A and B are shown apart, each in its own frame.
Chain A
Amino acid sequence: MVFLSNAVSDTRLKDKNESGQALFSTCVYGSRWTKEPIPKYSLPEEEMPSHIAYKLIKDDLQLDGNPVLNLASFVTTYMEEEAEKLMAENLSKNFIDYEEYPVSVELQNRCVNIIARLFNAPMDNPEAEAMGVSTIGSSEAIILAVLAMKKRWQKRRIAEGKPTDKPNLVMAASVQVCWEKATRYLEIEEKFVFLTEGTYILDPVKAVELVDENTIGVCVILGSTYTGHYEDAKTVNELLKQKNEENGWDVSIHIDAASGGFVAPFVNPDLVWDFRLDLVRSINVSGHKYGLCYAGIGWAIWKSKEYLPEELIFNVNYLGSDQASFTLNFSKGAANVISQYYILIRLGRAGFTSIMKNLMEIADYLAQKLEDTNVFDILSDRNGNGLPLVAFKLKIKDIHYDEFDVAQRLRERGWIVPAYTMAPHTQHIKLMRVVVREDFSRERCDILLQDLMATVELLNKLDKDTIFKKRTSTANWNLLKSVTRATFGGVKNESHKTNGVC
């Protein structure tokens, strides 16, 4: 037949080739995979073409949110094209494989050096050099730091012939949830310094009061997740030093600088919070918060080898190469570590300072504007005394709506501004928080303010009933979303917070 087209009959259309593909369409939306439900509960029997798998998943993911309007998270949502390119090119590298990827590991070393110096680790004694490691995030870094503190304390107690069954850790009730995970998993008692109205951070006197012979350390937060405040590490250091001397103890301070570690040194360089303080022996910082990298990178730094008990370090012969390993995760992608190095050399001190100062200013501007409306009270600090975020609450007490309603209504406009209750014992205080990230420009700030005021106006007009109905319907909708995910009954006597506000 010359130049005559065959019409394909119905029976033939149903024909499948050996591998089961409908013969006449492998374009994504013409294929059978578009009308069949995507595999969810069990492994599909057959393969599907790669471009179809790609498109189906991509389409699903379109329902993910737009990170730009997410004012809730500290975690970086913008990186330069060159950084993304670098990451994409190194996705296949296993960071732990030193033998195969020695340079990737060398980049970790450089980052540790740079960050340790940024935190003023003592550099004068080659016998007692600072040490550090890259982690997946601050959670892992904190667990490692707590492990180190616990082991050190145990060794001391055993040497003194004393019991080691009741270690405890002193911290503010406003710590991030990973502290509670660490203590629970490592079987350490949590000794909380509870907050009071107006005092949203660790009270140094109360903290040191709580220290006893079983205390493995005191945790001080540089940048509270609730209000952005920097806790007073210097005062804790002085008081603790005294107590240590009086009792012959050696209780350490660990600084949780998850957020503040990459802000304070640039915006508030006179603030003394790091290794310059005698008792600060370890610090964690998140690379993926103000370290300006995508999710998946954090750092744990110790002042010196002395604070990292040898028993916790594993000398591993990994594929022919000797290395010292102290992490919870073993194999992991190398791209995140590389991205941190990129940021550090790309920006330098000047770059970080410019960015952080801008963020500070925008945060202060937002706080000022909110205050000017006379509708809100600002709980966070300004002028670089805390992170670039604004924590605020409604001024008026007896109205028929609260911060949660405001958050809900803002969500309808696309903004994610979380509302939550303060840490124990101030749970009656509700607040909202806007985190100012790198890409939160002044322009975006103005639009937010507009929408926020429109929201408050609307809520003022709505009656109690309508608001109640909205609340219930939202609760149901959230429940529906969670149908495929197991929920647990919740621990009885969850005496402390369940707000994993981060």
Chain B
Amino acid sequence: MVYLSRLISDSHLDKEKEVHGSEAFSTSVYGSRWDIEPIPKYSLPDNEMPAKIAYKLIRDDLQLDGNPVLNLAAFLTTYMEEEAEKLMAENISKNFIDYEEYPMTVELQTRCVNIIANLFNAPKNDDAIGVSTVGSSEAMMLAVLAMKRLWKKRREAEGKPTDKPNIVMSASVQVCWEKAARYFEIEEKFVYLSEGKYILDPEKAVELVDENTIGIAVILGSTYTGHYEDVKAVNDLLLAKNKKTGWDVPIHVDAASGGFVAPFVNPDLVWDFRLELVRSINVSGHKYGLCYPGIGWALWKSKKYLPDELVFNINYLGSNQASFTLNFSKNASNVISQYYVLIRLGRQGFTSIMENLMGIADYLASRLEATKKFEILSDRNGNGVPLVAFRLKAKDIHYDEFDVAHRIREHQWIVPSYTMAPNIQHIKVLRVVVREDFSRERCDLFVADLMHTIDYLDKVDKETLHIKRNAGRSWKALKSISLMTFNSQSHKTNGVC
């Protein structure tokens, strides 16, 4: 037959299907049978599917993920240069822990630790030590483990009980502090906030320290309001108390956000290893360290603050290494990306970026203030991380910050609203985090939309608002159907991050 097309009969189709399966006559994504069948969700499908179909189906699903650019809620980096992304993609198959196989990758971690330790003014003659982690959660847990163990050893040497360790911290700590305390069975001694006082009160903190205190956690960059807590004051007061009592309570600085901001924008602020009692610091590479999610750093002033028993000497696939992490195998691409950012930007690059972000944050704060509708809770001029925490000025109106957040979501902006930490949970706040790609232009667009929102809410009546609130709640419940929720949480549940 020359150039005559054959019509494929049904019986033929069936026969082909028997032989070739349903791909017989179409493996184009949308022509294939996988396009009309529900995507496998609950159990392993019996058969394979072609690679490009799997790719496209998943990609299509993921289109429903949000647009990170309008997400003003998260600190996490959402933009990296093309070269950085390329480098990550090329190294995505590497297992970081395999030192024998990937010695250079591990060498890059070492360089990052050196660079960051120096940035935090680790003493030059001592042997500061550090490790890459998946994020500040892991870093902070390692630091807590170290502090607990050191305290325990001292107590045992003194013949005293070790069953009631506690840690002093402000009630505005990020939720991972509470996880660490709970998982490692340490009592949390909170310094509660008060109206106008959104950060740790150094006096109250040191007052809470007793013989069972393993350490004080001080935050450089509160997640609620961006403030830097006064590490120096805590250090001075704690030094005095330690001297008086013969204790040796250390300070750990949670610099998750502030660690890559303060040194560039506020270099006179003394908060790091320059302070005597600061023995360990954590910082997130994926916040102002400008890397994609999955990289954090834990640093200790010296080897002596890392108890030997917690460090495992392992022979991994032929190579001796010291290991102190919670995760073992993990992807190498994140560590490599941090090194890229550090050498690509250098001090000058970081300073340029952070100064810009500061400038924009301050600009946003003053524009919001100028509307006379909002009160600013965060600090300015580089005294905190680049974010703006604000609340509604007027008290007796029929809407609140949560309504504003909800309504502005309809303009596609994600601006979270939340209640402050204990004991000022009656205060509600909105927060905009200024990330690397939040330009002045975008800022202006945001303010315009925010004012539209306020306008709308001012006009809308109480009833309509109430209906909207309930609708929002039920929709969320629907979304969460496959997620478990648990009851009864006695302390804050705001994992505001």
List A residues at the B interface (Cβ < 8 Å). 19, 38-48, 50-51, 53-54, 56-58, 60-65, 67, 70, 72-73, 75-107, 109-110, 113-114, 117-118, 131, 136-140, 143, 147, 165, 177-178, 180-181, 184-187, 286, 288, 294-296, 305, 310-325, 328-336, 338, 341-342, 344-352, 407, 416, 418-420, 478, 481-482, 484-491, 494, 498-502
Contact = CB atoms under 8 A, between A and B. Distances in A.
Interface in B64-99: 64-66, 68, 71, 73-74, 76-98
Contact of B344 (A48, A87, A305): A48
A265 to B, nearest CB: 9
Given A117-B44, A181-B326, 15 more contacts: A43-B115, A46-B347, A53-B343, A61-B91, A80-B51, A82-B54, A107-B58, A114-B41, A143-B326, A185-B184, A314-B495, A329-B327, A345-B57, A487-B320, A488-B308
B4 interface: no
Given A78-B93, A294-B93, A295-B96, A140 B326 contact: yes
Contacts of A106: 61, 482
Contacts of A180: 312
Nearest to A86: B55
Contact of A84 (B89, B484, B495): B89
Nearest to A60: B104
11 contacts: A73-B317, A75-B95, A103-B61, A136-B134, A139-B327, A295-B94, A311-B182, A320-B405, A328-B183, A332-B134, A348-B46
B372 interface: no
Contacts of A97: 71, 73-74, 76
B261 interface: no
B254 interface: no
Contacts of B65: 93, 100-104
Interface string B27-66: 0000000000001111111111101101101110111111
Interface in B306-320: 308-320
Contacts of B344: 47-48, 50, 53
B327 A140 contact: yes
Given A60-B104, A295-B332, A500-B314, A94 B76 contact: yes
Contact of B479 (A102, A288, A305): A102
Nearest to A311: B182
Contact of A61 (B58, B322, B336): B336
Interface string B482-497: 1111111100011111
A305 B485 CA distance: 11
Contacts of A139: 326-329
B138 to A, nearest CB: 6
A482 B320 contact: yes
Contacts of B339: 57
A176 to B, nearest CB: 8
A45 B61 CA distance: 44
A292 to B, nearest CB: 12
Contacts of B94: 64, 67, 295
B222 to A, nearest CB: 16
B417 interface: yes
Nearest to B140: A330
Interface stretch (B106-114, B191-199, B445-453, B458-466): B106-114
B102 A104 contact: no
Given A92-B292, A333-B292, A486 B46 contact: no
Given A488-B313, A490-B313, A315 B485 contact: yes
Nearest to B337: A91
B470 interface: no
Contacts of B80: 92
Interface stretch (B5-13, B173-181, B209-217): B173-181
A315 to B, nearest CB: 5
Q: Which 9 A-B pairs have the closest CB atoms?
A: A316-B495, A500-B314, A54-B83, A82-B55, A53-B344, A296-B331, A346-B54, A295-B95, A44-B346
A90 B494 contact: no
A266 B495 CA distance: 40
Given A39-B111, A48-B344, A60-B108, A323 B62 contact: no
Question: Main SS of chain A's interface residues?
Answer: mixed
B135 A73 contact: no
A265 B64 CA distance: 33
Given A42-B114, A137-B330, A288 B95 contact: yes
A324 B493 CA distance: 10
Contacts of B59: 86, 89
Contact of A64 (B44, B82, B101, B118): B101
Contacts of B40: 110, 114, 344-345, 348
Interface of B: 39-49, 51-52, 54-55, 57-59, 61-66, 68, 71, 73-74, 76-98, 100-108, 110-111, 114-115, 118-119, 127, 129, 134-138, 141, 145, 163, 175-176, 178-179, 182-185, 284, 286, 292-294, 303, 308-323, 326-334, 336, 339-340, 342-350, 352, 405, 414, 416-418, 476, 479-480, 482-489, 493-497
A432 to B, nearest CB: 11
A444 B412 CA distance: 53
B334 A333 contact: yes
Contact of A416 (B41, B318, B476, B496): B318
Contacts of B417: 320
B497 A346 contact: no
B355 to A, nearest CB: 14
Contacts of A45: 346-348
A501 B118 CA distance: 34
Contact of B347 (A44, A131, A333, A484): A44
A491 B323 CA distance: 12
A328 B494 contact: no
A372 B477 CA distance: 63
Contacts of B309: 184, 491
Nearest to A483: B110
Nearest to A58: B87
A316 B136 CA distance: 17
Nearest to B48: A351
Given A82-B55, A91-B292, A331-B284, A38 B343 contact: yes
B154 to A, nearest CB: 16
Nearest to A142: B328
A41 B43 contact: no
B55 A100 contact: no
B42 A330 contact: no
Contacts of B163: 165
B62 A329 contact: no
Nearest to A343: B54
Contacts of A48: 343-344, 346
B104 A315 contact: no
B348 A100 contact: no
Contact of B115 (A39, A83, A100): A39
B137 A92 contact: no
Nearest to A101: B65
A252 B139 CA distance: 30
Contacts of B92: 84, 87-88, 294, 335
